Amino acid sequence: MFTTFIVKPLFNLLVLIYAIIPGHNFGLALIIFTIVVRLLLWPLVKKQLHQAKMMRKLQPEIKKIKAATKGNKQEETKLTMELYKEKGINPLSTFPILIIQFIVLIGLYSGINKIILNPKQIISFSYTSIQHLSWIKHLSTNLHYFDNTLFGFIDLSRTALGKTGVYWPAMIIVILSAVSQYYQSKQLMPTSKDQKSLREILKQANSGKPADQSEINGAVGKSTRFLLPLMIFLFTVNIAADLSLYWLASGVIALIQQGIALKEDEEELESGGENNKTKDPSKIKEAEIISPPKTKKLKNKKNQKRRKK
């Protein structure tokens, strides 16, 4: 089922792009495929980023709840969930996009692996309608025309680390994909001058000072910012450069998407703040409070004239 509903559709979308683009370069097709996938995921990505940003902005209020509940975890959880509900936040909303991205990654890896092990799979594993495309027909008789490179310079079927040593073009892609992941995580992390490191928090906890959960989350998040790029490097350094290229392209596009989404959120908050401004009661004139509306005054004058008549 995974092959039928995930691997094959993703594989065929990639092959379709490869077959119709000028030059039929597989590396370029992979970049375009990544852009298409990220655009399809954009509504979910935007929602995830908005929720994450809102949760960060609520940290001061959550701290107040913790201080007010004085260690009563049940009451703290209840009030926190009520706060999330009031602000329209779902703490679990970030998981669907992560799961989808993971499924796409595994599906793409399975599809690309088929081509690397047997290039003929680009024809035999394709849908019948794609097999009838002119370039795929041409490949079926001349498979050596299959260009699994990035613009003819980088062999994407090779790994960064192999039996022959380091293949530096692929290694550069691997390093850049890890760097893009680092900046992707950094872009989402809140920056605070008084943010404590995990070592400081543990040191204070040993001396008897209770650790604040939000400070722990911030410290762990800061450590994760370095851990994820390291994991990506170790994962992609021994696999074909195709997947590293996908990860790099995905990371760069994610940085752009996150920048757009976060900027839109800032603009919405600023415009919302201006629209929601209320007058300071001390600056409101007495006439605005006491005097009735003009329409009522006019009606009263007319009634007085009628009575005199």
Task: With respect to residue 111, please indicate whether it lies within any of the assigned structural domains.
Answer: yes
Are 177 and 237 spatial neighbours (Cβ–Cβ below 8 Å)? no
Instruction: Look at residue 163 and give its three-state secondary structure.
Output: coil
The CA angle 106-112-116, to the nearest 5 degrees, is: 135
Task: With respect to residue 305, please indicate whether it lies within any of the assigned structural domains.
Answer: no
Spans in the chain with pLDDT lower than 50:
273-299, 309
Kindly state the tokens that stand for 294: 């003009």
Complete DSSP assignment for 174-218: HHHHHHHHHHHHHHHSPP-TTPPPHHHHHHHHHTTPPPPHHHHHH
Nearest alpha-carbon partner for 57 in 209, 275, 242, 272: 272
The CA angle 210-215-218, to the nearest 5 degrees, is: 155
Question: Exposure of 98 by Cβ count < 10 A (0-12 exposed, 13-18 middle, 19+ buried)?
Answer: exposed
Residue 216: give the domain boundaries: 2-269
Domain total of the chain: 1
Per-residue pLDDT at 82: 86
Kindly state the tokens that stand for 90: 């779902």
Task: With respect to residue 303, please indicate whether it lies within any of the assigned structural domains.
Answer: no
Nearest alpha-carbon partner for 261 in 43, 58, 104: 43
Residue 154 DSSP symbol: E
Task: With respect to residue 239, please indicate whether it lies within any of the assigned structural domains.
Answer: yes
Per-residue pLDDT at 209: 58
Per-residue pLDDT at 31: 95
Per-residue pLDDT at 25: 94
Task: With respect to residue 304, please indicate whether it lies within any of the assigned structural domains.
Answer: no
Per-residue pLDDT at 199: 60
Per-residue pLDDT at 285: 42
The half-sphere exposure of 238 on its side-chain side, counting CA atoms within 13 A, is 4
Task: With respect to residue 204, please indicate whether it lies within any of the assigned structural domains.
Answer: yes
